[in-house]
Amino acid sequence: MPMFCQGCGRPLPEGAQFCPGCGRGTARPPDSQPSFVLPTPSVTPLTSLDRLVMVWDKLAFETNFRFQDVEGNPLGETVRGQTLLLPFTQFTLFDINHQPVLSLDPRRELGLHFDFLIHEPSGGVLAVLEQKSSFLSQRFGITAGGVESWVLTTDATGLRFDIRSTRDGAIVASGQRKMAVATARSEIEIPAGGDVDHRIVLGAAILASHLSSRR
């Protein structure tokens, strides 16, 4: 059975005592399960709708994002955490009942290279978003269950993003931002029949929007 780091979710080389990505020790009790799991999320509109809108209030002191359905009904919102790793920060997404859905945490490797972890509320790693090239390229590989299954890419303006399957190049999610004076609205679509966890899409959308909000 392959082993995964319980801190960052990376696959571990056979016999490794420390994770080559985050440096965490790899010792765990025999026959215990790694924390890199994909548990079934509670079914709420925020984690099950195929079309939703993310709103950024540009005039607010801190960048946070509100999620709505296409009719404008609230679904949840992000809260910035205490973890700060410039130029990024931690976000936690809560649903309309104030229950945590996921957290997005930055991890710096070397120089300007950043990875991000999407955690479920219990702490298990849902996905690792690994920066694929230069700091300005906004392209991330998305690994879940030890397999890089998707790629997140934003365009040069930061107004559009898509998530494509590494298997066949199919778009499994996309977003387009529309700017206004006080707000920016990103319309997110997740085509039916895709195999991507909606929570991974939401975490990736938060990352893409946060990156573009800094431009």
Residue 31's pLDDT is: 41
What is the distance between the terminal CA atoms of the chain, rounded to a whole angstrom?
43
Summarize pLDDT for 80-106 with one digit per residue, the tens.
Answer: 876 555 557 889 999 999 999 999 988
Summarize pLDDT for 19-50 with one digit per residue, the tens.
Answer: 666 556 665 444 443 344 444 555 678 999 99
**Superfamily (CATH H level) for 45-213:** LURP1-related (2.40.160.200)
Residue 166's pLDDT is: 94
Query: Which residues in the chain land under pLDDT 70?
Result: 1-11, 17-43, 82-87, 108-113, 133-137, 213-215
For residue 104, list its beta bridge partners.
91, 118
CB crowding 179-202: b at 16 or more within 10 Å, else e: eeeeebebebebeeebebbbbbbb
Residue 32's pLDDT is: 40
Q: Enumerate residues 6+ apart whose C-beta is below 8 A from 117.
A: 8, 9, 104, 105, 107, 125, 127, 128, 129
Sorted by where each begins, the domain ranges of the chain are: 1-36, 45-213
Quick one: three-class SS letters along the chain? CCCECCCCCCECCCCCCECCCCCCECCCCCCCCCCCCCCCCCCCHHHHCCEEEEEEECCCCCCCEEEECCCCCEEEEEEEEEEEECCEEEEEEEECCCCEEEEEEEEECCCCCEEEEEECCCCCEEEEEEECCCCCCCEEEEEECCEEEEEEEECCCCCEEEEEECCCCCEEEEEEEEECCCEEEEEEECCCCCCCCHHHHHHHHHHHHHHHHCC
